[in-house]
Amino acid sequence: MGRMDGKVALITGAASGIGAACALRIAQEGGQIAGLDVQEISDGDWGEAVALAGDAPFKKVDVRDGDGVRSAIAEIEWRLGRIDVLVNSAGVAGGGAIHMISEDDWDRVIDVNLRGTWLVSRTVITGMLERESGNIINIASVEGIEGFEGGSAYNASKGAVITLTKNMAIDFGRKGIRVNAVCPGFIRTPLLAGTFELEGLEEVRDRIVDATQLGRLGQPVEIANAVLFLASDEASFVTGHAMVVDGGYTAGHRFGVSKMMGLE
């Protein structure tokens, strides 16, 4: 038996990256999947997930669009019967110190990362409350836990997602609904690749890798494995938690002592 047998999971940002990896891992464990994304589906994890799950509705919708979200989720619930697990993975990057960010760019990052998480959760939670059962996993970031130079809008959005996660866990826990967040470190995704392609950021990437205790960037499946745990009954007593999956990036700092001890 798979850990997700009999469960229906909706994943936002499902077309690629972490969202697609989550869809594949859930399908591999016997779950039924559905996806939302503003992008078209690309070959890869989502395609493999569909091959495993069979009927896997995918709706092209912007998570900022309330009417579009409500319509897409209503159709998914009609086709699959219900949504047991929601993975809010849709997100965008945005950088700069606060005086450098335009109002439009600030709003875009906050609206997709925070408002989108709230809006999709708000729409799905109705059915979960009726059944008094459900599970929501929000993809936040280590940048929502600590600051990162030039990341003001993104960090603010992800920090708010973590606090929203805790509030939702409090509000809905007595209704049988668990709510957690996963806080990835720096993961090889199209979103991260697009950021590091900007001029002058190659050295920043190398320094981030050096500051990660495992000495590498993470893979989407490594985040999906954490999501799978939280989505499964193995995490039945876990709620209101922000799980850091970052290769040791936030563990602390190295100053050369490990090399002196022969550990590098």
Active-site amino acid positions: 154
Please give the DSSP secondary-structure letter assigned to residue 262.
T
243 bridge partner residues? 182
The answer to whether the Cα torsion of 144, 148, 154, 155 is positive or negative is: positive
CA dist 68 and 79 (Å) reads 17
d(CA 254, CA 213): 8
Q: In what order do the strands lie in the sheet with 8-12?
A: 58-60, 32-37, 8-12, 85-88, 134-139, 177-184, 242-245
List 135's β-bridge partners, or say none. Answer: 85, 178
